[in-house]
Amino acid sequence: MKTLILLVFLLWGSAAFSANQEYLVKLTPTHGLEALQGLKQMGAYREFDTSFGRFAVLKTKRDLEFIDIKYLENLEGISYVDENTVYKALPIKDSEVNLANDDPSFKKQWGLKNTGWNGGPLWRLGKKGEDINAEKAWGLTRGRSTIKIAVIDTGVDYDHPDLKNNILTNEIEFNGTDGVDDDGNGYIDDVYGYDFANNDGDPADGHGHGTHCAGVIGATHNRSGIRGVMGRVKILPIKFLGDNGSGTLEGAVKAIDYAIKMKVHVMSNSWGGGGANQSLKEAIIAANKAGISFVAAAGNSNSDNDKKPSYPASYKVENIISVGSIDGNGKKSWFSNYGKNSVHIFAPGSDILSTVKGKGYKKMSGTSMAAPFVSGAIGLLLTHEKNLTPVEIRDRLVKSAVRKKALDKYSQSGRLDAFRFLKDLGN
């Protein structure tokens, strides 16, 4: 204990000033309480439990340097220390196009059915057939309401007319008492999911990004608006990115842990930028142990993830599926990250029409839009083969993808084809 208290003065004397810097401290099952007593001397902290261990979030008035963090990690009671870094939603904002609410329709969704005329603006209309082959896949299945997909993002407009029938509802909380944890899962009033940005039971989307991703996965096939990859599914909104589109490592870890507790089948993650952190990797490993696929956007920096990893897509965990973006011509989108050894598959991500908050529709571009196409395809597969493991699902995606010369140098496989994926027709 004395050594830890002494360290406080050493840290404050040597580290650079930074108001209210936060760190995630993983506590060991033994000696964790002793470590907390020491952390009190360094600043304010809060604690939270997950299915994979106990954490303290330490708020200091000065940055910890590398040597300081390593010293802490060698103390009894502390497993590791991560900076509570910031992650962001991954759309390409300058290619958003607003559309009137009564205008969107299936015929504008080139990612599902590319006619050659609907794949983009006039100067790059697209190429017929460069899509995920959705209609043939729907001949096999449109999904099932027993499949649960977590959209971990900025929240979801769960009242959107194209989404509300496919939102997972916690019936015990819905029929329970306000302000009470009726189902005993540790979260109060989580009727439609949870908000870890504001720590409450309302994951409503104040940004639009999460609702867009949700629509790609599961907009209902109801003869109005648009269609999702799945016509039937239960989407679990989990918000950790605030209305400004950014969120913390702490929120991401809590969001993944919540999704595990809610026993989802797939986690769809269209965010990144916070760098590598052991706590986030550990959360994804816990999801893998629970049999949950973790679909992740590859990033929008037009860079090689083999050489410059983008997280969380680049963690070496077998349930992670890293997704790049293609345009309506079947070529890598100009912004999309890539990686022959690190990006598993490409899916439509340029000029994608989907739902947004306020019951509206909008076109957005980004690997953010590509990832939910893959999440939805996995959901379709699980309606047929529910016992597949995440690594079996990932390997089948790679095997069944349509190989394209234009993508050969960019990924392990090629373009997502939902029908081949369901039929296992890859060679």
What is the span of the domain harbouring residue 330? 89-423
d(CA 392, CA 403): 19
Does 205 share its domain with 73?
Answer: no
Catalytic hit among 336, 342, 368, 375: 368
pLDDT at 62: 76
153 flagged as catalytic: yes
Catalytic hit among 207, 209, 221, 265: 209
pLDDT at 91: 77
CATH code: domain of residue 375: 3.40.50.200
368 flagged as catalytic: yes
Does 242 share its domain with 322?
Answer: yes
pLDDT at 93: 57
Catalytic hit among 68, 131, 153, 417: 153
207 flagged as catalytic: no
Does 57 share its domain with 196?
Answer: no
Which of 84, 99, 120 is the last residue before a domain boundary?
84
pLDDT at 64: 80
Does 133 share its domain with 41?
Answer: no
Does 222 share its domain with 273?
Answer: yes
Which of 84, 110, 142 is the last residue before a domain boundary?
84
Does 31 share its domain with 138?
Answer: no
Radius of gyration of the chain (CA): 22
Number of domains present in the structure of the chain: 2
Does 140 share its domain with 214?
Answer: yes
Does 72 share its domain with 98?
Answer: no
Q: Which residues of the chain have pLDDT under 50?
A: 1-19, 94-97, 100-103, 425-427
3-state secondary structure the chain: CHHHHHHHHHHHHHCCEEEEEEEEEEECCCCHHHHHHHHHCCCEEEEEEECCEEEEEEEEEECCCHHHHHHHHCCCCEEEEEECCEEEECCEEEEEEECCCCCCCHHHCCCCCCCCCCCCCHHHCCCCCCCCCHHHHHCCCCEEEEEEEEEEECCCCCCCCCCHHHECCCHHHHCCCCCCCCCCCCCCCCCCCEECCCCECCCCCCCCHHHHHHHHHHCCCCCCCCCCCCCEEEEEEEECCCCCCEEEHHHHHHHHHHHHHCCCCEEEECEECCCCCHHHHHHHHHHHHCCCEEEEECCCCCCECCCCCCCCCCCCCCCEEEEEEECCCCCECCCCCECCCCCCEEEECCCEEEEECCCEEEEEECHHHHHHHHHHHHHHHHHHCCCCCHHHHHHHHHHHCECCHHHCCCCCCCECCHHHHHHCCCC
Does 65 share its domain with 184?
Answer: no
Tokens of 194: 């949870």
Does 274 share its domain with 318?
Answer: yes
- pTM given for the model: 0.91
Does 99 share its domain with 238?
Answer: yes
CATH code: domain of residue 8: 3.30.70
pLDDT at 72: 78
Which of 84, 106, 124 is the last residue before a domain boundary?
84
d(CA 45, CA 43): 7
Does 106 share its domain with 139?
Answer: yes
